[in-house]
Amino acid sequence: MRRRNFLATALAAAPAASLLSGCGDDGDDGTLDYLSLAWQKESMEANKALVAEWNKRNPQRPVRYVQGSWDSVHDQLLTSFEGGEAPDVIHDEANDLTDFAHGGYLADLGELLPDGLRNQIPERTWDMVRFGGGTYGVPFLQEPRVLVANRRLLDDSGVRVPDTEDPWTWDEFEAAARKLSGKGSYGVAWSMKEPVNQSVNLSLTTGGAVFYREDGKDVVRFDRRDSYVAELIHRQVNRERTAPRGSLGMSGSDTLPGFFSGQYAMVPLNFSYRQQVEQQAPDGFEWTALPMPAGDLGPGSGPTQGMSPQTLSIAQDTKRKEDAMAFIAFLTQPDHMARLAAGDWIVPTGRKALRDPALNTRKHDWRTGIGMSEDLRASPVLGVRGYAEWKDKIATPAFQEYYSGSIGLDDLRGKLVEDGNRILARYQR
């Protein structure tokens, strides 16, 4: 913390410092802090059990389980990084790592990774955590977006039920939504409280990316392949009325009551939401998880989705990086990874974990997510400096206005590209 030295020295000189020391315990008491964001009962239990197991096997390098929350993890990490008091092993999401890695707070894992772990996870998944020439996390869990559908309405409508071998095309999806719509009910409810990640990640199905690298710089483009899915959603809400305007301001879980009551036949949700669906569904309600539609705009399009996986990282300030890495390797060895994935109702990244019998079952449509794992690619937004600002200031309001029909495609493109590139340029001087 070079620039804060003047403050620090001024205060270190205060005589009170010596009087007050001893009230706080020193961070480096030989224990590694593991900040975990597990929050559902089963995954919390799985995490704690694994930590206990590690501690039993490695009494000389104990790990302490520290509970964090997705809601506040970024602020918590930023403050503790700046203050030099960060946890040693950090559970987070790839999207959140960009700025921390750039700021020099995360250790480059390149040299530390044991071969077993490196080979276990496919290259396309490692791409999700590589930016600026380093590897800043171990991607261990990922969740594709799926269409959770009302089984009865689906069967009654007579539409073809897709699977991962043969997903719908976007056209088929649009037609199915039409068939599933009726008086006072809608074929699909798009939850667009956070519209940006979804819109960008789904653009990969039609060969788009929104974020491109040109001459070593990140730029935004929003051409036909990038905007195809967004246009479709806009059409469903504003022209065909097969999707309700009312759900646009909702988060994923907000759409569930309407889904259970039959108002919405399908809801695009992250894979882990199945747990909530299973818990809250009324007795006798049958649901199924379908793969998201695939693009058919020729080469480059298909069932591919952009992904920002959950990660385990090591703080740069940690003195015992080898121990931290050993602990991460322990958490992500195939059987453990599968256990964590099962606890979170989410897809693991490791090849062996993906074959775990507990996950390869028809129950709760686990197979849909497992089957989609091959089609998950690094989200184009990963590693883009300034993405957060672009998203909050430009893209979120612009997409919200576009989907609700108050601006048209040209306006949307203008905002995303022109205003957007101005913001990105500031970060890449």
Residues 64-103 that bind other proteins (CB under 8 A): 64-67, 69-72, 74-76, 78-85, 87, 93, 99-100, 102-103
Sites for other proteins among residues 96-135 (CB under 8 A): 99-100, 102-105
Nearer CB in complex with other proteins: 350/386: 386
270 sits near other proteins (criterion: CB under 8 A): yes
SS (H, E, C) the chain: CHHHHHHHHHHHCCCHHHHHCCCCCCCCCCCEEEEECCCCHHHHHHHHHHHHHHHHHCCCCCEEEEECCCCCHHHHHHHHHHCCCCCCEEEEEHHHHHHHHHCCCECCCCCCCCHHHHHHCCHHHHHHHEECCEECCEEEEECCEEEEEEHHHHHHHCCCCCCCCCCCEHHHHHHHHHHHCECCEEEECCCCCCHHHHHHHHHHHHCCCCEEEECCEEEECCCHHHHHHHHHHHHHHHCCCCCCHHHHHCCHHHHHHHHHCCCEEEEEEECCHHHHHHHHCCCCCCEEEEECCECCCCCCCCCCEEECCEEEEEECCCCCHHHHHHHHHHHCCHHHHHHHHHHHCCEECCHHHHCCCCCCCCHHHHHHHHHHHHHEEECCCCCCCCHHHHHHHHHHHHHHHHHCCCCCHHHHHHHHHHHHHHHHHHHCC
164 vs 305 by CB, closer to other proteins: 305
Nearer to other proteins, 8 or 358 (CB): 8
Nearer to other proteins, 169 or 404 (CB): 404
For other proteins, which residue of 169, 281, 300, 330 counts as binding (CB under 8 A)?
281
Residue 361 interacting with other proteins (CB under 8 A): no
Q: Is 408 in the site for other proteins (CB under 8 A)?
A: no
For residues 190-229, which are near other proteins according to CB under 8 A? 193-194
Shortest distance (Å) from residue 13 CB to other proteins: 9
For other proteins, the binding residue among 342, 400, 412, 417 (CB under 8 A) is 400
User: Nearest approach, Cβ of 189 to other proteins (angstroms)?
Assistant: 9
Region from 217-225, 242-250, 334-342, 367-375 binding other proteins, contact rule CB under 8 A: 242-250
Q: Candidates 55-63, 281-289, 332-340, 371-379 — which segment interacts with other proteins by CB under 8 A?
A: 281-289
Nearest distance in Å: CB 157, other proteins: 21
x/- binding map, residues 380-399, to other proteins, per CB under 8 A?
------x-xx--xx--xx--
302 is a contact residue toward other proteins (CB under 8 A)? no
| Residues 137-156, interacting with other proteins (CB under 8 A) | none
